[in-house]
Structure formats: C-alpha cells, structure tokens
C-alpha cells in the first residue's frame, strides 16, 4: 500500500509540472508587443497602445490619398493661382499639325478658286487672286512685303494652323517685311491657330475673324523712308463696312517705343471711321499703348474680358493699357478688362 501511494503521489507531481509548463508557453505566444508598423500595417495606434508609444506613420502606395480636411464655413480652400497667361494661345497650340514638304516657291500667285494648300513648307509668299482659297497646316517663310495677301475683288480666304514668318533683314522695305496676312479683299477672311512672327504689322485688315493665334517676335526696322516702321500685332485702318472679330488670341508687341512700337491691337481711323469690331478674351501686351480704341468717331466697338499683360511694361503698354477710347460712341462697350493681377481697367476718354 505504501508503495502504491508513493507512485500515485509521483504521478500527480508530474502532471502538475506538465500543466504549469504548457501555461507559460501559451502566455508567451500571445503578447501585446510595442512595435513600429510596416507599410502594410494600419498606421493608426490602437486604443490599447501605451501612451508613450509614437508609431511611425507611413502612407502606403496602394491606398487612396486622404481627402482634404473639412474646413470651417466661409474659409476659402487653399489654391495655387494659375499663371495669368495660362489658357491663351502659344507655340504649342498653334502652327501646322502635319509633317511638312519643303517647297522653294518664291513669290507665288494663286489663281484657282477653291485651291487648298496643305502640308507645305513654302519659302516664298502667297498672293491670292482667287476665291475660297484655304491655306492649312503649312509654313510660310517670306522675304516679300507680305506672307499671304488677298487681293481686291476676291473673298473667302482661310488661313488655319499655319506658321507665317519671314527672314529679318531680307524684306523689300529696306530689309523689313510688313504684313503676315493682309486682307485687301471684299469680305471677311479667317485666320485661326496660326503662329505669326517677324512682320511689322502682323494681321492687317478691316474685316475678318481672327481667333486662337499667337502673334509674337515682331522685328522693328527702318522703312524705305528712313523712319522706324510702326509695329502692331493687329492693325485696322478703319473705313470697312464688314465686321472685325479678334477673339482669344495672344497678341504681343515687345518692340521698343523708340523703334516704332505702336500697339498690340491698333484701331486707327486712317481711311475712315472704325466700326463693328469685337475684341474679346485676348491676351494683350506691349506697344506704346496695348490698345488704340479707334478715336472719337469709333462706333460699335466691343472690348470685353481681355487680359492686359504686364510682361513688358508696368501698364501693359509703355504709356498705358488703352487710349483713344470713345466711351460715348454708339454701341461701344467696355467690360471685364483687367491687368494680369486682376485689377480692372477703366479707359481714359478719347481726345
């Protein structure tokens, strides 16, 4: 009996030791460690984490970026202002869209109605004696008085997605060149998405639809009379019965005023009163004044939503943003025009 009791007591001791050992292993298998979360872990510490623990927070690439925090009512969201020139035509939005075929054409006359000139890199000029001619996706490099000229009695010219430039010092006016596109015809012409440079008076016409063009890099020169030729990105001499629309262009005239700078847009009553002109949504800069408004007799002139850039001069032009504005002229409207910083512009009266 004594021997049997001893065996039972020993077995009980062994079982107790085994249970005690298994419990310690279970406690070590499920600790609550202090750790730094990996990129895949939830970076937000749990409520049970010790107050002294400051886990490293990372933003995993597979998660969506957090939305902006809520803001108090009436507080404007923080934004980065777009450059004042953003959205206006430039070298990247104008000019040909095709691979061009070089062509040394010289000063060429176009006499076929409905002719289409496409994909041509023309060294020379185009003199249009025909109706409904289209010049598209091309390049004109002229040493003539003009790049493209529509002759009197003809109509329907369209110049689209084309670069029109010249060779400085090689033109007929004492080395200068005068008109990138000239409308001497009997109706409106369209000039759109064109990259235009060098010519002294780049777009010259009393009627037309000028839109989405980039006019820049005008080159000053002394004309055959020995005087500095006046330079304008767009010029109209007045006296036209048609409508001139100038919409959403970049029109720059960086020529110094003592070398002939006149305007970015010049409406002059050289051949009659200026009328029926829309100047809307353009970027203007440079000239003696960025805009000449037509003078005392001007009527039906609408100038709206233009940005007068100060990239060259403090007030856009050397002497100011606008002059010769006839505020009392019938149908004349001035609205929404401003400097690059948003400051509204109020023109002085013509006089």
How would DSSP label each residue in 208-256?
EEEES-EEEEE---B-TTSSBPPEEEEEE-S--SS-EEEES-EEEE---
pLDDT(56) > 70: no
pLDDT of 270 > 50? The answer is yes
The closest alpha carbon to 294, from 265, 336, 261, belongs to: 265
331: pLDDT strictly greater than 70: yes
Q: Distance (Å, rounded) from C-alpha 46 to C-alpha 62?
A: 22
Distance between CA 204 and CA 89 in Å, rounded? 19
> Given a cut of 50, is residue 326 above it in pLDDT?
yes
User: Does residue 196 surpass a pLDDT of 70?
Assistant: yes
Strand segments (E) across 248-324: 250-253, 261-267, 275-280, 283-286, 289-293, 299-304, 307-308, 320-323
What does the mean pLDDT of the chain come to?
82
pLDDT single digits (tens) 13-46? 444 434 344 433 333 333 333 333 333 333 333 2
Residue 271 has pLDDT above 80, yes or no: yes
Q: What is the mean pLDDT of residues 219-233?
A: 97
Cα–Cα dist 302/280, whole Å? 8
Question: 53 falls in which pLDDT band (50, 70, 90)?
Answer: very low
SS3 134: strand
Determine the pLDDT at residue 86: 82
Q: What is the pLDDT of residue 291?
A: 98
CB 219 within 8 A of CB 184: no
* 120 alpha carbon, distance to own chain's centre: 26
* Burial class of residue 163, CB neighbours in 10 A (0-12, 13-18, 19+): buried
Percent of all residues in the chain with a pLDDT value above 90, rounded to a whole number: 73
pLDDT of residue 69: 30
Residues whose CB is less than 8 angstroms from the CB of residue 72 and which lie 6 or more positions away in sequence, other chains included: none
Residues whose CB is less than 8 angstroms from the CB of residue 77 and which lie 6 or more positions away in sequence, other chains included:
68, 71
* Per-residue confidence (pLDDT) for residue 268, from 0 to 100: 97
**Predicted local distance difference test score (pLDDT) of residue 195:** 98
Per-residue model confidence as pLDDT tens digits over 149-165: 999 999 999 999 999 99
Inter-CA distances, 108 with 132, 144, 309, Å: 17, 10, 38
d(CA 5, CA 344): 110
Backbone phi and psi for residue 295, each to the nearest 5 degrees, phi listed first: 85, -170
**Average pLDDT of the residues in 66-82:** 31
Structural contact between residues 103 and 139, judged by C-beta atoms closer than 8 angstroms: no
In whole angstroms, what is the distance from residue 288 CA to residue 309 CA?
14
Rounded to 5°, the CA angle 228-309-232 comes to 25
């Amino acid at each position: 009996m004594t021997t049997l009791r001893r065996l039972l007591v020993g077995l009980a001791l062994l079982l107790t030791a085994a249970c005690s050992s298994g419990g310690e292993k279970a406690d070590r298998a499920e600790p609550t460690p202090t750790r730094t979360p990996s990129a895949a872990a939830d970076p937000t510490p749990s409520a049970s984490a010790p107050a002294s623990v400051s886990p490293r927070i990372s933003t995993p690439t597979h998660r969506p970026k957090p939305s902006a925090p809520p803001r108090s009512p009436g507080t404007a969201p923080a934004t980065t202002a777009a450059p004042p020139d953003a959205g206006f035509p430039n070298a990247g939005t104008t000019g040909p869209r095709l691979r061009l075929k070089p062509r040394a054409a010289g000063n060429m006359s176009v006499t076929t109605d409905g002719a289409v000139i496409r994909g041509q890199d023309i060294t020379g000029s185009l003199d249009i004696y025909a109706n409904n001619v289209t010049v598209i996706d091309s390049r004109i490099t002229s040493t003539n008085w003009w790049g493209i000229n529509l002759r009197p009695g003809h109509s329907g010219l369209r110049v689209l997605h084309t670069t029109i430039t010249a060779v400085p010092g090689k033109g007929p006016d004492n080395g200068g060149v005068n008109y990138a596109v000239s409308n001497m015809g009997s109706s409106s012409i369209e000039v759109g998405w064109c990259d235009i440079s060098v010519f002294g008076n780049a777009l010259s016409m009393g009627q037309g639809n000028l839109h989405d063009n980039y006019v820049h890099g005008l080159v000053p020169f002394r004309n055959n009379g020995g005087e500095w030729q006046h330079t304008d990105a767009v010029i109209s001499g007045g006296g036209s019965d048609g409508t001139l629309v100038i919409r959403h262009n970049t029109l720059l005239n960086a020529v110094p005023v003592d070398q002939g700078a006149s305007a970015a847009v010049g409406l002059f009553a050289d051949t009659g009163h200026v009328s029926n002109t829309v100047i809307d949504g353009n970027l203007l800069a440079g000239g003696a004044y960025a805009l000449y408004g037509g003078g005392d007799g001007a009527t039906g002139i609408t100038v709206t939503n233009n940005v007068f850039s100060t990239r060259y001069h403090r007030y856009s032009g050397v002497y100011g943003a606008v002059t010769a504005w006839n505020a009392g002229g019938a149908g004349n409207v001035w609205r929404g025009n401003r400097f690059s910083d948003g400051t509204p512009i109020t023109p002085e009266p013509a006089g």
